[in-house]
Every structure is written in structure tokens, then in C-alpha cells.
């Protein structure tokens, strides 16, 4: 969640696993699963038309055919296509930036010739992305980056229109890799672009189909984890294709962190605990973008917020924004709510948990699920009581209760939702990155990991302005000259964030 921390983390730490030292399945899977869970939650409010008493036959064992006679897909039930289409149509209404991109670029087909394999969550929003890529000329094959998050009816709708999709909700470990392989390994068709979320697809191609990998024109990677793996590969000198890190674009970062968290901290706390914010004493650990978002929202609703920081520049900003900067131990006894947003680990320790007052709520908005030392709470003298989904009371021997949300995992993914608008920004960024890499003149991008060029970043932003009926001002020639700028941007230097 906190871009800057990630950079620091990945840039400086020496003891990183190399990409090729593949994590054990167990390890990776459990990581993946914890993300799965979050992701599943995050889409939980979407209607599901999947009959729960659905037949239990594995999709791999069924023969299905779409109305055009194709059997090159594997989904739960092709008959759900109509329901899925409706979901996609509703999603389109909130993703006007992609639709607009579709219209603007449809004539020139900038992805004509692109053969994209994709591995992402398969939801209505992703479907809008895929169909946009197709509209721009690409051929796509798709699989899921998560064994739980597929919306079956959406997968069916895609398959029905002819996109080879290999994914269903509730895949096994084995299914997961089988689907990836089916996606890549097909006769008479060789991928030349990769769109990945987590790095599993990239890894699979790299390992199993090195000859395909070498001919890929570009990789677009969405997740922190996947980006990390790419940087490792690059460091090890094994990245033989240009890759684009779309996780760290300015627009996406602002939305994922500042704007999204400003809303989801309230939503996550309210849905789980029905807390009244007015007058509550809250400590927010970390005053990066996520922390800033949380503090702004809580203060606006009448909470009394203080912060902890390790970095004097952020601390000084907190002061100027009206927040007391404290050490956690100084204030822990008085707090009603403790929120972590540091990207670090053991920010809230067992000793501090011991000193919290009865009823104190503890949750994590940061990156890692080790910010709160939850493991230390799994000890015999403490009783865990699950009072609602995602809400545990940890009860001390003297009866004191601490309210732990989402077991210390990301509150905003576990207990809130990601607005479609934010997903639209991500999807648009992915589409533009694919276009950029596919169309870049030979040699512009080397075998390295790139950030999205500022101009594309600005274009993503501009495509979303109509949602707000916002009207940009255009530089006059004279002004552009005075500023030394091109009238169409980029307006920001590359290091701007």
C-alpha cells in the first residue's frame, strides 16, 4: 500500500530471494491465499449468480462449447454467460475512461498484432479491460491470478464472446497451474505480450517456455510482489524483455493510497465495529500517503488523532497538519483505536497490546500483515472470540478485550470494498502500458523494469476527468514557450510523485 516503503525495502535489502530461487509451493501458496482472501472479500459485494448448489464436476472434466462453436476455454459454466454480460455492462457504466479509450483508439487499432496472455483477477472490471484490448486489435488469452476471486459468470461471458478464458472460482493448486499452462501453451498462437498480477504467469513463461519469453515485446506487471520479482530478475541479469511497473504510476498510487484509504478507513471500521468516530482517540502509525488519508478522514469526522513516525520529514508534515507526533508507548493506554500504516513489522507489539485499554480496536491499513504482532496473541492465556466476520475479541485473563480486525490483515481489502473508479484507473493504466510497450520503437525500452512515462500517466488522469465534469485549461503557445513545455504534456518531470 505504501509505495515509498516498498521502494526502500526492495532497493536496499540485501537478503532478497532471487527470482529463480522459486519459493516453495507451500510458502507461495499461503501468501497467494492470503491475498486471495482479501481479494475475494474485496469483490464480495458484487452480485453472484452462481447457483451454490452448482454441480460439483470440475470444469476440467467437462466439455463445453460456446455459441460460436469454440471449445478453447475452460470455465465453470458457459451457460452463465448472459448473467456475466449484464455484470460487465454495469461495470462499463463506471469505467467510462476505458470506454473512451476504446472509442478514441479503435480506428488506429494500436494493438493490432498484439497477442496478450493475461493473468489477473477475473471480474467484471477486468472483462471491460480485456474487451477494450480486443477492441484495440489485440488477441487475448486469460487466466486467473487467484484461485478464489474469479466471477464465474464473467468468465463465461468472456468465453462466450470468443476470449479463451481458463479460470473458475475455487481452483485447486494444480488447477491454477494447469490453467496458466493452457493459456500459454496453445497451438498456432504465440504470446508476444504479458499482462500479469503477481508474477506467476511471467514466472511460468520464463521457466517453461524460455523461447516464448525471449520473443515477448513487453511485460506489464501490476502488483508489488510481481514488480519485486521482476526487479530481482533484472538485478540477476535474467530479464531479457522490457517490463513496465504500473503499480507505481502517480495516478494509481494516489488513488490506491491517499484517496482510497481516506474512505476505506471509515468504511472498514464502521462495517466491522459500528464505532462512532466523534471524540475517539486514535493513533495512526505512519504518516505516508496511507496514513495521511486515514488521518484526514478521521479528523474530519471528529476523532482526535495523533501519529507515530520514524521519519522526521513526515513527522514535521504531521505537525503542520495538526497532529501530535508521539511514541506509541506514551499514548497506548488512552487510545480507542490503533491503526498501522507503516509497511514495517511489529509496529504494535505484544507489550503494547497488553497495555491497551478495554475495548481498544486494532487494525492494519499498511502493506504487510505483520505490522501488528498478531502471532504473539495466539498464546494460551488469551481467549479469542469471533464476534462477527473479520472481528475477533482477544480477551485477557482480567476480562479486558482488545478488538482485532481482519486478524491484522489489510483492513481496506478485508472489510471494505475497492471502488470501481479505482479499478478503472488501474485497468486504464494497464491498457496504456501495453500500448506503449507494444508500439515503442525498437530500442526505446531496454531489458529493464520501467515506470510508466509521465505522459501516459497524465493521459490516464485525463481520461478520468470527464467523470468529474472537470475542464482542463490549455496552454497558449506563448505560455508553453515561456514554461518550456509541450502543450500536450508531459507537465511533470519524471521524478514527480
Q: How many CB atoms lie within 10 A of CB 323?
A: 23
292 a known binding residue?
Answer: yes
By the rule CB under 8 A, 381 interacts with a copy of itself: no
By the rule CB under 8 A, 24 interacts with a copy of itself: no
Residue 339: beta bridge partners? 284, 363
Of the residues 36, 146, 352, 417, which one makes contact with a copy of itself according to CB under 8 A:
417
By the rule CB under 8 A, 375 interacts with a copy of itself: no
Tell me whether residue 47 or residue 65 sits nearer to a copy of itself (CB atom): 47
Site for a copy of itself in 255-274 (CB under 8 A): 255, 259-260, 262-263, 266-267, 270-271, 274
Distance CA 167, CA 131 (A): 17
How far are the Cα atoms of 130, 200, 262, 423 from residue 118, in angstroms, in the given order?
A: 9, 11, 31, 16
Burial class of 480 by CB neighbour count within 10 A (0 to 12, 13 to 18, 19+) = middle
DSSP strand pairing (304-308 vs 383-388): unpaired
Task: Record the cell numbers describing residue 32, joined without a space.
Answer: 497467494
By the rule CB under 8 A, 302 interacts with a copy of itself: yes
By the rule CB under 8 A, 458 interacts with a copy of itself: yes
Of the residues 39, 161, 308, 340, which one makes contact with a copy of itself according to CB under 8 A:
308
252 a known binding residue?
Answer: yes
Number of residues located near a copy of itself, criterion CB under 8 A? 111
Task: Record the cell numbers describing residue 215, joined without a space.
Answer: 520473443
Tell me whether residue 238 or residue 497 sits nearer to a copy of itself (CB atom): 497
By the rule CB under 8 A, 79 interacts with a copy of itself: no
Q: How far is the CB of 310 from a copy of itself (least distance, A)?
A: 5
Of the residues 173, 181, 321, 373, which one makes contact with a copy of itself according to CB under 8 A:
321
Task: Record the cell numbers describing residue 317, joined without a space.
Answer: 508534515
By the rule CB under 8 A, 352 interacts with a copy of itself: no
By the rule CB under 8 A, 334 interacts with a copy of itself: yes
Q: How far is the CB of 304 from a copy of itself (least distance, A)?
A: 6
Q: How far is the CB of 493 from a copy of itself (least distance, A)?
A: 6
Kind plus residue range of the DSSP H or E element containing 37: helix 25-42
Say which DSSP state 343 is in. S
Task: Record the cell numbers describing residue 315, joined without a space.
Answer: 513527522
Backbone angles phi, psi at 185, to 5 degrees: -90, 90
Cis peptide before 87 (omega within 30 of 0): no
From 377, 280, 295, 385, select the one nearest 337 (Cα to Cα).
280
Q: How far is the CB of 471 from a copy of itself (least distance, A)?
A: 5
Q: How far is the CB of 484 from a copy of itself (least distance, A)?
A: 3
Q: Tabulate helix, strand, coil % of the chain (nearest 5).
A: 45, 15, 40
Give the number of residues written for the chain.
497
Distance CA 369, CA 418 (A): 18
By the rule CB under 8 A, 355 interacts with a copy of itself: no
By the rule CB under 8 A, 26 interacts with a copy of itself: no
DSSP strand pairing (391-395 vs 401-405): antiparallel
Tell me whether residue 319 or residue 382 sits nearer to a copy of itself (CB atom): 319
Tell me whether residue 222 or residue 458 sits nearer to a copy of itself (CB atom): 458
Of the residues 28, 115, 235, 497, which one makes contact with a copy of itself according to CB under 8 A:
497
Q: How far is the CB of 463 from a copy of itself (least distance, A)?
A: 8
Distance CA 239, CA 357 (A): 51
Of the residues 31, 212, 240, 326, which one makes contact with a copy of itself according to CB under 8 A:
326
162 a known binding residue?
Answer: no
How far are the Cα atoms of 259, 283, 311, 368, 375 from residue 296, in angstroms, in the given order?
A: 10, 13, 19, 22, 30
By the rule CB under 8 A, 318 interacts with a copy of itself: yes
Binding residues for substrate: 123, 197, 222, 252, 256
Binding residues for NAD(+): 288-293, 309, 412
Binding residues: 123, 197, 222, 252, 256, 288-293, 309, 412
Amino acid at each position: 500500500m505504501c509505495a515509498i516503503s516498498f521502494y526502500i525495502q526492495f532497493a536496499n535489502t540485501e537478503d532478497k530471494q532471487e527470482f529463480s530461487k522459486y519459493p516453495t509451493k507451500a510458502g507461495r501458496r499461503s501468501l497467494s491465499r492470503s491475498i486471495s482472501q482479501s481479494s475475494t472479500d474485496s469483490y464480495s459485494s458484487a452480485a453472484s449468480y452462481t447457483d451454490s448448489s452448482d454441480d460439483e464436476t470440475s470444469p476440467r472434466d467437462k466439455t463445453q462449447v460456446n455459441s460460436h462453436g469454440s471449445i478453447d476455454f475452460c470455465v465453470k459454466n458457459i451457460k452463465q454467460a448472459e448473467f456475466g454480460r449484464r455484470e460487465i455492462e454495469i461495470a462499463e457504466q463506471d469505467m467510462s475512461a476505458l470506454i473512451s479509450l476504446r472509442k478514441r483508439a479503435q480506428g488506429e487499432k494500436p494493438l493490432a498484432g498484439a497477442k496478450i496472455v493475461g493473468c489477473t483477477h477475473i471480474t467484471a472490471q477486468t472483462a471491460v479491460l480485456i474487451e477494450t484490448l480486443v477492441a484495440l486489435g489485440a488477441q487475448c488469452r486469460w487466466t486467473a491470478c487467484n484461485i478464489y476471486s474469479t466471477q464465474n459468470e464473467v468468465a463465461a461471458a468472456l468465453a462466450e464472446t470468443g476470449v479463451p478464458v481458463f479460470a473458475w472460482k475455487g481452483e485447486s493448486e494444480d488447477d491454477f497451474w494447469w490453467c496458466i499452462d493452457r493459456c500459454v501453451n496453445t497451438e498456432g498462437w504465440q504470446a508476444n505480450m504479458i499482462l500479469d498480477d503477481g508474477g506467476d504467469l511471467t514466472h511460468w513463461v520464463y521457466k517453461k517456455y524460455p523461447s516464448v519469453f525471449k520473443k515477448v515485446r513487453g511485460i506489464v506487471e501490476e502488483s508489488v510482489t510481481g514488480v519485486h520479482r521482476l526487479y530481482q530478475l533484472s538485478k540477476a541479469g535474467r530479464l531479457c524483455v522490457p517490463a513496465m511497473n504500473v503499480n507505481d504510476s502517480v495516478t494509481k498510487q494516489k488513488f490506491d493510497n491517499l484517496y482510497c484509504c481516506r474512505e476505506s478507513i471509515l468504511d472498514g471500521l464502521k462495517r466491522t465495529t459500528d464505532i462512532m468516530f466523534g471524540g475517539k482517540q486514535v493513533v495512526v502509525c505512519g504518516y505516508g500517503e496511507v496514513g495521511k488519508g486515514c488521518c484526514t478522514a478521521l479528523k474530519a469526522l471528529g476523532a482526535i488523532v495523533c501519529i507515530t513516525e520514524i521519519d522526521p520529514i513526515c513527522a514535521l508534515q504531521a505537525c503542520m497538519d495538526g497532529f501530535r507526533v508521539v511514541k506509541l508507548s506514551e499514548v497506548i493506554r488512552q487510545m480507542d483505536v490503533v491503526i498501522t500504516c507503516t509497511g514495517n513489522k511489529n509496529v504494535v507489539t505484544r507489550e503494547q497490546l497488553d497495555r491497551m485499554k478495554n475495548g481498544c480496536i486494532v487494525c492494519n491499513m499498511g502493506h504487510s500483515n505483520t505490522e501488528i504482532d498478531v502471532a504473539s496473541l495466539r498464546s494460551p492465556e488469551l481467549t479469542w472470540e469471533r464476534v462477527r466476520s473479520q472481528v475477533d475479541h482477544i480477551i485477557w485473563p482480567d476480562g479486558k478485550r482488545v478488538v482485532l480486525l481482519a486478524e491484522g490483515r489489510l483492513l481496506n481489502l478485508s472489510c471494505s470494498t475497492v471502488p470501481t473508479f479505482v479499478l478503472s484507473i488501474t485497468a486504464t493504466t494497464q491498457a496504456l502500458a501495453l500500448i506503449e510497450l507494444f508500439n515503442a520503437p525498437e530500442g526505446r525500452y531496454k531489458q529493464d523494469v520501467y515506470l510508466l512515462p509521465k505522459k501516459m500517466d497524465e493521459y490516464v488522469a485525463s481520461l478520468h476527468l470527464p467523470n468529474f465534469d472537470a475542464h482542463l485549461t490549455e496552454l497558449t503557445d506563448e505560455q508553453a514557450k515561456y514554461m518550456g513545455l509541450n502543450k500536450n504534456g508531459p507537465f511533470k518531470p519524471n521524478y514527480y510523485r
